[in-house]
Structure 1
Amino acid sequence: MTLEVSAQLCRDLVTVRDYVRWGASQFNAAGLYFGHGTDNAWDEAVQLVLHALHLSEFNNAQILDARLTEDERMAVLALLERRVDERLPGAYLTGEAWFAGLKFHVDERVLVPRSPMAELIEKGFEPWLTEEPAQILDMCTGSGCIGIACAYAFPDAQVDLSDISEEALAVAEQNIARHQVAERVRALHSDLFAGLGNQRYDLIVSNPPYVDARDLAEMPAEYQAEPSVGLGSGDDGLDFTRRLLREARQYLTDQGLLVVEVGNSWPALEQAFPELPFTWIEFERGGHGVFALRAQDLDAL
């Protein structure tokens, strides 16, 4: 967009409402994809406009009619234009994402938090956990959101966040500091269990890469902007999960629980492991492809 056009827009668009409406229209016209914290153009525009204005929450409808200064108009316009031109998830533009009611730092080094496991964490993994876990592992932690949310849910637990990506672990460390949980939460560099020593866990949770090769190639640009190491896992999306299932038993306590998200790869997983009694968790807020297995269930492998 030329400076002349931008200047004209800044004259024509005056209020917060103007920019939200204009942004949503531009997003729809550009065919953007939503799925990284919002699911529609209007909510995405609201999120970006408020961020550009340093307003963290939309809790007063009167703000929609507030008039912006010229500098504010330019800042809002620039952010909305980046969303269209670069096709980056909105969370990468704001540097923040919400998960399980908590705010996390995110950037291009990690996936944007969106797992339905948030609902499971908020419920304390009931009814599958009958006692609070003392040791928890969040494998493929990325931003650390799942493990840190677990630390909030179980305030006496020690939590390990593991990932093969050192860049992702740097983001997880930022979030450990942000939430002030360093006394109970640590980030560990590990390829699956290789870097975790002999520790055994009462709860292992994982949102590993599980996208099959075909889906990965066809994903919208917003997903292509995310680190591929956190998405793709072989032709059927199960390369990592196969390894996880075969090794998890020796790292679980006898009463331990394994909870893993595999998304659309769940039919292929059932076919690959017919001997395992997968419990597929249903979510009130949407989402699918998350299974639970008890430690003894894995003895069948």
Structure 2
Amino acid sequence: MTKGIEQETRPGQGAATVAALRTPVQPAAGRGAALRVEGAGISFGDFRAVQGIDLDIPAGEFLCLLGPSGCGKSTLLSAMAGFIQVSEGTLTADGAPVSGPDPELGMVFQSSEALFDWMTVQQNVTFGPRMRGRSRAEQNRVADEFLGLVGLRHCADRYPGQLSGGMRQRVQIARVLANEPGVVLMDEPFGALDAQTRQVLQQETARIWSASGCTVVFVTHDIDEAILLADRVAVMTAGPAASIKSLYTVDLPRPRDESDPAALRLRNQLREDIGEEVRKAMRDQGLDDQLDREAKNA
């Protein structure tokens, strides 16, 4: 093995390996919880969304789920949040079965419509602690801490409708963190934002994760976003009955440099993996002719 290179076996690929420069990255110690998914499958009637999912996510890790559209990334994330139940296998957080929604499992949605428009920013952020009967002083402390963490203390008295899309997403992140979850689950939270705002929030997310010590599972379609944020990237196969195709360790120093040769190599490998799955899905739909035309025009 080449000096300075770490190889990681790709699940289901036998001796196939992936190489990345070895520069260990240790997440901040904090209140992260470990997630374990063993042999998990999720079905809706006769439709099998995912099957045979095995993931061991240590406390404090930032894991990105990457894959083609419709592969079940959001479905798997919803199961981790307790919104739906696995049909087979097990899913646990710090050893306890995930049987339903829990403050320990915070969800950040793609749409900022998840915020309560009739509440101020501060009221949104303190909603969870307020429902758990925390004192007014404790609510104020929580609002100050987490609005400060996302850089929005000056917006505490505003309403969501008075904020930009990027600011609303930061409020949503602060509201989730105010419950002090061990795991933060993020379902393409920046997908609807413009490129510049998205880039800023990617950097902010890396900073917030480092400061909070939470475990993060982040769903994305964006390869560069996954490389920028993740400790590891799990690539899913095309659905239905999707599974984990490959698992990559992103051993690059933070903040990440997208022009780093190791990042470029990883990007190419991820593109190849996802491209294989997209082509397979198109062939399964009888679109072979379209693939042939695209290959000729490439």
**Length-normalised TM-score, structure 2:** 0.29
Which structure has greater strand proportion? Answer: 2
With a CA cutoff of 8 Å and minimum separation of 6, indicate the structure with the bigger relative contact order: 2
Name which one, 1 or 2, has greater alpha-carbon Rg. 1
**Length-normalised TM-score, structure 1:** 0.29
